[in-house]
């Protein structure tokens, strides 16, 4: 049955937001106006609404256009905001049902039109967020909801894992998806694993869930992010093998503990190397070392990393290296898998 909620125009926006929050809007059909009422297509009947409403079965629903690519969408957007639409670059990220775009300053005055447009067109978006960058040390995003629900806490599903997070308050990078998948496939059966910069569990949860380690300890410094991390351990039912520890890994990481260490933080990561090496069980194991490099220096930076480890009194070899994503002009996020001992 193609159900819709019919409300008076003055209540339509409130009803739409409420239905969005409840996940009840049927995005395959358009919101239409008929006989002075607004019809909002719904997937099933709501038990209540904060405004007077009636429920009806739509006879001739108007279907939403099929999903568009970012480039097609920009062409559509041009009809609303003119040539400035071309300034929108870099695609979007969909984290759960929150759609994130990078909004250049010139488009800021048009943010509401752009946001509403994207909300109408993207079949899965409940909120549209404009991002202006991420603070360095604790990776706090600078973001603003430009359309839809202002509550942006969402549930993101990926590789058989779920992550509860608020992308406006914590970092979760779509560009790291391959790295998250790789963690799930590492050969770490029976290992003890330490995640020194766990975030909401982006890297250690897929590992804990699929790679059969014996034990995982995930450290996170920022209280707000730590709360999501703890919740995600529960949501993924990993309490039996994974635990979270709050604090600065320089202070709370255990010594002589792990067979494998994830160092997923790329601002001056060399500061954390001595601590990571100390945390390896018997001084041996694998480090997943993330850093920022110039694209052409991937190999050279790897050699410099080995030199630093040697200076600290350990023997090491690089087993794997990869550019993860472009981070800024001439700066790439890179990862090195280093075997120590
Ligand atoms: C960039 S996020 C990365 C999350 C995940 N490792 C990934 O790569 O997708 C880095 C996280 O490390 C945390 N962090 C930064 N410095 C830290 C420290 N000294 N000890 C523990 N956590 C730290 C930040 O709060 C942030 O949540």
Is ligand 1 within 6 A of the CB of residue 204?
no
Residue range(s) of every CATH 3.40.50.150 domain in the chain: 175-340
Using alpha carbons only, what angle is made at residue 279 by residues 276 and 284, rounded to the nearest 5 degrees? 90
> How far does the centroid of ligand 1 lie from the alpha carbon of residue 221, in Å?
7
- Cα separation, 296 vs 318, whole angstroms: 17
- Whole-number Å distance, alpha carbon 198 to ligand 1 midpoint, is 5
Which secondary structure element, helix H or strand E, spans residue 74, and what is its range? Answer: helix 70-81
Name the closest-CA residue to atom 15, ligand 1: 138
Measure the CA–CA gap between 213 and 229, rounded to whole angstroms.
Answer: 18
Confirm if 171 and 101 have CB atoms less than 8 A apart: no
| Per-residue confidence in pLDDT tens, the chain, 341 aa | 789 999 999 999 899 989 988 888 887 788 898 888 999 999 899 988 989 999 999 988 887 655 667 787 788 888 888 888 888 887 788 999 999 998 888 888 888 999 998 888 777 789 999 987 555 565 556 789 999 999 999 999 998 899 999 999 998 988 899 999 999 999 999 999 999 999 999 999 999 999 999 999 999 999 999 999 999 999 999 999 999 999 999 999 999 999 999 999 999 999 999 999 999 999 999 999 999 999 999 999 999 999 999 999 999 999 999 999 998 889 999 999 999 99
Is any atom of ligand 1 closer than 6 Å to the C-beta of 96?
no
Global pTM value: 0.79
Cβ of 139 below 6 Å from ligand 1: yes
Largest CA distance in the chain: 79
Its CATH architecture, for the domain 3-57, is 2-Layer Sandwich (3.30)
Token look-up 């604090």 returns 247
> Looking at the domain that runs over 175-340, which CATH code has it been given?
3.40.50.150
Q: How far is the CA of 99 from the centre of ligand 1 (A)?
A: 23
Instruction: Considering the domain delimited by 70-152, tell me its CATH architecture.
Output: 2-Layer Sandwich (3.30)
221 CB less than 6 Å from ligand 1?
yes
Q: Is the C-beta atom of 229 inside 6 A of ligand 1?
A: no
């Amino acid at each position: 049955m193609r159900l819709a909620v019919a409300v008076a125009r003055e209540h339509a926006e409130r009803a739409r937001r409420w239905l969005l929050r409840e996940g009840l809007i049927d995005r395959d059909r358009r919101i239409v106006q008929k006989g002075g009422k607004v019809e909002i297509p719904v997937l099933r009947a709501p038990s209540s609404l904060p405004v007077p409403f009636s429920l009806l079965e739509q006879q001739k629903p108007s279907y939403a256009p099929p999903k568009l690519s970012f480039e097609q969408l920009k062409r559509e957007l041009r009809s609303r905001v003119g040539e400035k639409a071309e300034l929108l670059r870099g695609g979007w990220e969909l984290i759960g049902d929150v759609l994130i775009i990078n909004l250049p300053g010139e488009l800021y005055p048009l943010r509401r039109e752009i946001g509403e447009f994207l909300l109408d067109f993207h079949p899965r978006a409940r909120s549209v967020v404009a991002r202006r960058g991420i603070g360095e040390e604790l990776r706090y995003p600078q973001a603003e909801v430009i359309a839809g629900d202002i509550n942006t806490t969402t549930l993101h599903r990926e590789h058989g894992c779920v992550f509860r997070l608020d992308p406006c308050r914590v970092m979760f990078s779509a560009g790291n998806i391959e790295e998250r998948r790789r963690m799930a496939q590492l050969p770490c059966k029976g290992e003890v694993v330490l995640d020194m910069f766990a975030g909401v569990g982006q890297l250690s949860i897929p590992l804990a869930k699929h790679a059969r380690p014996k034990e995982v300890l995930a450290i996170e410094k920022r209280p707000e992010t730590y709360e999501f991390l703890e919740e995600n351990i529960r949501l993924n039912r990993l309490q039996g093998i994974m635990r979270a520890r709050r604090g600065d890994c320089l202070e709370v990481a255990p010594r002589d503990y792990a067979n494998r260490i994830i160092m997923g933080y790329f601002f001056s990561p060399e500061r954390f190397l001595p601590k990571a090496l100390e945390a390896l069980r018997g001084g041996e194991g694998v480090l997943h070392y993330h850093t920022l490099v110039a694209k052409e220096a991937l190999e050279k930076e790897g050699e410099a990393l080995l030199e630093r480890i040697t200076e600290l009194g350990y023997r090491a070899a690089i087993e794997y290296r990869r550019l993860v994503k472009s981070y800024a002009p001439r700066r790439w996020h890179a990862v090195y898998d280093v075997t120590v001992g």
